Structure 1
Amino acid sequence: MDPHTERHTDICIAGGGPAGTLLACLLARQGADVVLIEKQPVPGPSFRGEILNGDGEHVLRKHELLNLVDREAVLPLIRLEYWENQRVVKTILPDREDGNVGIHIPQADLLQALLTEAEKYPNFTYKSGTTVRGLLQDGDGRYIGVKIRGADGTDEEIRSRVVVGADGRYSAVRKHAGILVNTEGHGYDLLWARIPAPDGWEPIMCSTIQNGQQLHLFTQARGYVQVGWNIEEDSYKALRKRPFEELTDTLIAAFPKLESSVRQHITSWQDFVLLDIFSSRSERWAQPGLVLIGDAAHTMTPTGAFGLNEALCDADVLHEELLNCLEKRQDICLPIDRLEQRRRSDVERRQREQLDMELKYAQNFNSLQDDNIQTNDTINRTSR
């Protein structure tokens, strides 16, 4: 086999997460030649953004993609509860009778549905287990492709009219392009674990403060509960020297109904996944021939479940701009600049909302009132 090969395409997308895969699917449907590169051999890493809010749901329904996901993998959540001393002190309900406060879809299921749809088109190519090794530029500094290494060790050059960096918070495309990023810590990191849901557990989200720790529960499709512990930023190494039961006992004290499942399924530190929490804003989303979307352009915290949904909106807007440009044979720099113009203010507003929600989190527990029911205007925006 030739150790170095080359191919040409319209759009080369690095990153097979929700943003990159949705963009590839939408472009392929409309006849664009697309190559999607993903470093993981199997789609759908664990413990990533999996809650659709109204914006993300709207994008998928608009393109008739949500109905392609396995029905067992789509779980509408019926309410958000805040607990204190083992009782509900605040409840947020959907803003309409048939609504929800979010829809859980395992990322692997969402990605598989998008890939299956994209693979119907011969103009779509998916390269899994493939890493970005560098970027290609012409004599004027315009980006014209990527250097990759495939799962079999073969080096290849993908030459394209546009390079899209959809490769996450530690974006290789962003790094190779030398795009500066402003990063802000939020004072905490997050430990995740997943346990089977107890019998009779409803499709809800719960949040509490127990022994000074913020705890969060997210019901997942196929009968699971995802548990999140907020821990002090950079404290995980020291925390691991202590008994892990300090965390599980705190969880059980807050939500006794989970005790049996917790005892059976969280038996060591190996059952936790650490997510370091920060937000970031790339100095620019676009350079000639190259554009960043999703976490590569704007990393968000898990608060409010905005990250996944803003990434899907990026992909939706960029596909519109790119198709319009390709059809009119315009300069490809125009649509990638317009993406940033259309999306940046919304994303930055969402990041400010996240920070405000984090700062005001404790206020959700100030009033201990029975049946303190509110409709959700911030987290749930499902009515379109």
Structure 2
Amino acid sequence: MTIPTETDVLIVGGGPAGALLGCLLARRGIGVLVAEKQTELDRDFRGETLAAPSVVTLRKLGFGPALSSHGFLETAAVSMRMEGRRVFSVDYGKFGVDALPVDIPQPALIGIFNEEAAGLPGYTRAAGTACTGLLIEDGTVRGAVLKQKDGTRTEVRARLVVGADGRFSKVRKEAGLAARIQPMERDFLSLKLPRPAGWGNHAELIVDRDKHLVVLPTWPDFLRVGHNLPKRGMGALRKEGFEAFRAGIAAIDPRLEPLMEEHLRSWDDTGFLEIFTAEVDQWARDGLILIGDASHTCTPILGQGVNLAIQDTVCLAPVIARALAATPSGSVPAAEFDRFVATRRKHKTVVTRFQRMQERALAQHTPMGVRLRRARFSVLDKLPVKYAVFGKVINAPHQVDPADLRVHLAHSR
């Protein structure tokens, strides 16, 4: 593949944020290069649930037919059981959003964005291409050095570099934008099982003292199960043996025991995720902006990663378009992103705070702490305010720029 040596916007990272941003900018006639270090999309992702506002936004932007063509699973509700008692539930239909959350494989979602962008002029996607460093002159980011799988290195000059390369962002590191890493007390192990007929389409959180499972129905016919373990506890878990691990999950939710007996054979059937948050004081410098997990990493609790990425992108696309128009030549000044950063930081801080509160509650292990936790959730379940509390985190509105809608309609004719 021949990589252009100049472009308006270089996006490093082709996940949901990078792929969608590349598409929205290309629709506006902006030159875009999306560099993604992976060559294939067929990877196993842990977070694949689109919140209802994300579904509405993607439909407005014209991706509805492609989503329907692929297929997805709507999630009707989420419930919580603690020590064998159902203590809390939320009906997603009561939020007043014209959609339900949907589960769709993340590779399929990224593929939808890539396919839409592929035919647009000025758009290039470079798979199997990693960023090895930034081009910085007089304190301003002027582009990046990209390395392809065959070892070819290319210096790409861009008026703006977007770091959309995730929780371990290379762009963030190379830009000297320090992240404050705060580990959680526990990490996460995930696995996939066939979904039995008649299981239903609601998500479940099943808690037994300081152990819990997240059980999510996923498209087309699977269950995704997440299980907590102590920080740096994977070694001890492996030492106890795989059978002991399966027995521990079955003790929390006996319904899963026969499924695991048949389909969960070894540690290779599980995936490990280190849980931490990363907060970055400075998201932008002249010629560069961070988005998604690169700017503010959240935890998997409530599966907000992909939704925060979509929110970032929908907010950022018009900001970039205006900034490029306002500075016809040269790099985009960091000040152009001040309002974007302030708005998105505020919401992500709310999400992180809520996730940490949830993690503290789930980590309770003393008899008194467990009883108080169960009582708090039981009381909250009876109060209408629970929808306001949850809605603030999972149903943040997306402000779709009218220009993006006009551009979509123009391309649809």
> 1:301 — aligned with what?
299
CA deviations over 1:42-92 (Å, ceiling 9, x no partner): 125323321122443343233122432254542110111112455533222
* In structure 2, distance between residues paired with 1:316 and 1:78: 25
Match of 2:332, as an amino acid? I
Matched, 1:339 2:337: no
Higher helix share: 2
Alignment of 1:64-83 (within 5 A): 64-83=62-81
**Hey, what does 2:410 align to over in structure 1?**
none
Query: Could you say what secondary structure the match of 1:69 adopts?
Result: helix
Q: Which of 367, 375, 397 is residue 366 of structure 1 equivalent to?
A: 375
Question: Are residues 100 and 335 of structure 1, via their aligned partners in 2, closer, same or farther at CA, if it must alter by over 3 Å?
Answer: same
SS at match of 1:16: coil
Contact 1:56 1:310 (8 Å CA) reproduced: no
Secondary structure at 1:231 match in 2: strand
Q: In structure 1, how many angstroms separate the alpha carbons of the residues matched to 2:312 and 2:187?
A: 26
Structure-to-structure mapping, 1:199-210, within 5 angstroms: 199-210=197-208
Instruction: Note the C-alpha offset of 1:382.
Output: 5.1
Q: What does the per-residue CA deviation read over 1:232-266, in whole Å, with 9 as the maximum and x for residues that have no partner?
A: 11111221111222232233233333332211111
Q: How many residue pairs are counted as aligned between the two chains?
A: 380
1:107 paired with 2:97, answer no
Cα offsets for 1:105-149 (capped at 9, x unmatched): 2101100100000112021100011111111122x2211111011
Q: Distance in 1 between matches of 2:128 and 2:67?
A: 23
Partner of 1:120 in structure 2? 119
Report the equivalent of 2:402. Answer: none
Give, as a single letter, the amino acid of the residue that structure 2 aligns with 1:313: Q
Normalization by structure 1: what TM-score?
A: 0.91
Q: Which segments of 5 or more consecutive residues in structure 2 lack a partner in the other structure?
A: 363-369, 398-413
Aligned-partner Cα distance in 2 for 1:236–1:183: 20
Contact 1:189-1:277 at 8 Å conserved across structures = yes
Cα distance in structure 1, aligned partners of 2:144 and 2:373 = 48
CA distance in 1, matches of 2:259, 2:322: 52
Once the two structures are superposed, what CA deviation does each residue of 1:279-303 show, in whole Å capped at 9, x if it has no partner? Answer: 0111210011011111111010011
Q: Partners of 1:349 and 1:186 in 2: how far apart?
A: 17
Q: Could you say what secondary structure the match of 1:240 adopts?
A: helix
Moved more, 300-309 or 43-52: 43-52
Distance 1:282 1:48 in 2: 24
Alignment deviations for residues 196-221 of structure 1 (CA, whole Å, 9 cap, x no partner): 10121111111112364111101101
CA distance in 1, matches of 2:102, 2:389: 15
- The letter of the residue matching 1:115 is N
> After the TM superposition, which residues 48-59 of structure 1 pair with which residues of structure 2 at under 5 Å, given as runs?
48-59=46-57
Pairwise CA distance, 1:383:
9.5
One-letter code aligned to 1:121:
L
Q: Structure 2 CA distance, aligned partners of 1:44 and 1:310?
A: 22
For 2:132, give the aligned amino acid.
R
Give the structure-2-normalised TM-score: 0.85
Match of 2:133 in 1: 134
Query: Kindly tell me: are residues 289 and 367 of structure 1, through their superposed partners in 2, closer, same or farther at Cα, counting changes over 3 Å?
Result: closer
Q: Which moved more, 1:171-180 or 1:209-218?
A: 209-218
Between the aligned partners of 1:366 and 1:73, the Cα distance in structure 2 is 39
Gapped regions of structure 1 (runs ≥ 5): none
CA distance in structure 2 between the partners assigned to 1:101 and 1:90 by the alignment:
19
Query: Is the Cα–Cα contact under 8 Å of residues 52 and 99 in structure 2 kept in the other structure?
Result: no
Do structure 1's residue 92 and structure 2's residue 93 form an aligned pair? Answer: no
What CA distance in whole angstroms lies between the structure 2 residues aligned with 1:83 and 1:204?
A: 13
- State the one-letter code of the partner of 1:111: I
Go from structure 1 to structure 2 and tell me whether the alpha carbon gap of 1:6 and 1:219 turns closer, same or farther (over 3 Å shift): closer
- CA distance in structure 1 between the partners assigned to 2:389 and 2:60 by the alignment: 22
Are 1:18 and 2:27 an aligned pair?
no
Select 2:39's aligned residue among 25, 38, 41: 41
Distance in structure 1 (CA, Å) of the matches to 2:170 and 2:318: 25
Change (3 A) 1:8 1:312: same
Does 1 or 2 have the higher relative contact order (CA < 8 Å, sep 6+)? 1
